[in-house]
Amino acid sequence: MTQPLLSVDELTVTFTGRGRRDVQAVSGVSFSVDQGQVVGLVGESGCGKSVTSLALMGLLPDRGVRVGGRAEYDGTDLFGLSPSRRRALRGSQLAMIFQDPLSSLNPVVPIGVQVTEILARHRGMKGEAARKEAASLLDRVGIPDPRRRLKEYPHQLSGGMRQRALIAMAVACAPRLLIADEPTTALDVTIQAQILELLKELVDQEGTALLMITHDLGVVAGLCDEVNVLYAGKVVESAGRRDLFAAPTHPYTHGLLNSIPRLDAPRGEPLHPIRGSINDNIAWADGCAFAPRCDFYTLECLAGTPGLSEPRAAGHQVRCVNPVLPGSAGATGGTTGGTAGLEKTEATS
């Protein structure tokens, strides 16, 4: 078995502010990405998925942030590299696509320059050669009339075109690992599908590994081979795509699946959001962070951090004391009786 292209081991990211309490945004995340594989990092806003991607790219600010754990890319320890080595790696080997295409493009610089600057930096291309390559990159991501677009500014492009331009920049140097942080959230549904199709195509053609960060399980279903579900800075469930959708085991994954509105649901059928918000959690050290929002929790949930286990199939890991197994309590209905008990416990402690 060959080693994975990227392997992340016990990654922690802590924001330290002067005179403020430290906040651990990512607390021990481990996963790996193989060459040509699409791996999803799924969770609500605030679960630490974007921070994980920024930490891997080395884009977190130098001060006020502490990064721990290991991240190995192709055998080299990313966090041990000098800033200039990391800079050389960024854009050439590791590339990233961001969420909001308008704010992610420089408003006062033509699209062409924003593409050619990366060619100049990593591939030493200049002048007409660089412009020609930039045009063919824009063409490849499906931007019509690329020669003319090179001279245009971001505000002159549509949302979908802007995201295509950003993708063109990201793939300009044929990176081996592409990180996409919610690349479709700011776009129309029809455009979303096109962009996902484009990403799929690029991954299939080039054998690029893709780390897909999203809150949208629809995106996961359409694209990912492996899925890691994150909650409050920890992986709570990790499985192959089929496994995850066929038999979601963590109550949180259940909740995520149930909160997707269904087109074929009867009229007037209420939606099933997960109760509370990600701020209603407890520290992982005291137990399961999801317990206060969980429909299945028991007192055992508060006995320290639950570990990852494989209750059902090999490779399908879940961090839960009371995993939702087939035949156990109805996943959709759930009980609320347990919550009152938890509040009592918190009040006495």
Binding footprint of other proteins on the chain (CB under 8 A): 57, 59, 87-92, 95-96, 98, 100, 103-110, 113, 117-118, 121-122, 153, 155, 166, 169
Token couple for 80:
């041990």
Minimum distance between the CB of residue 295 and other proteins, rounded to whole angstroms? 37
- Only one residue has tokens 């990512």, namely 26
Using the minimum distance from each CB to other proteins, give the nearer residue, 109 or 303. Answer: 109
- Cβ proximity to other proteins: between 112 and 306 the closer is 112
Nearer to other proteins, 6 or 227 (CB): 6
Q: How far is the CB of 59 from other proteins (least distance, A)?
A: 6
In angstroms, what is the minimal distance from the CB of 177 to other proteins? 12
Helix (H/G/I), strand (E/B), else coil: 94 = strand
| In the complex, least distance from residue 229 CB atom to other proteins, rounded to whole angstroms | 25
Main-chain phi, psi angles of 82, to 5 degrees = -70, 155
Nearer to other proteins, 31 or 98 (CB): 98
H or E, element range at 170: helix 159-171
Minimum CB separation from other proteins for residue 72, in Å?
Answer: 19
Structure tokens at 166: 């950003």
Nearer to other proteins, 121 or 215 (CB): 121
Please, what is the minimum distance in Å from the beta carbon of residue 103 to other proteins?
Answer: 4
C-beta of 122 vs 272, nearer to other proteins: 122
Neighbours of 279 (CB within 10 A): 8
Torsion sign (Cα): 89, 70, 52, 315? positive
Strands, sheet with 23-33, edge to edge from the N-terminal-most edge strand: 23-33, 6-15, 65-73, 76-77
Helices (H) and strands (E) in the chain, counts: 11, 11
Residue with tokens 């990176």: 175
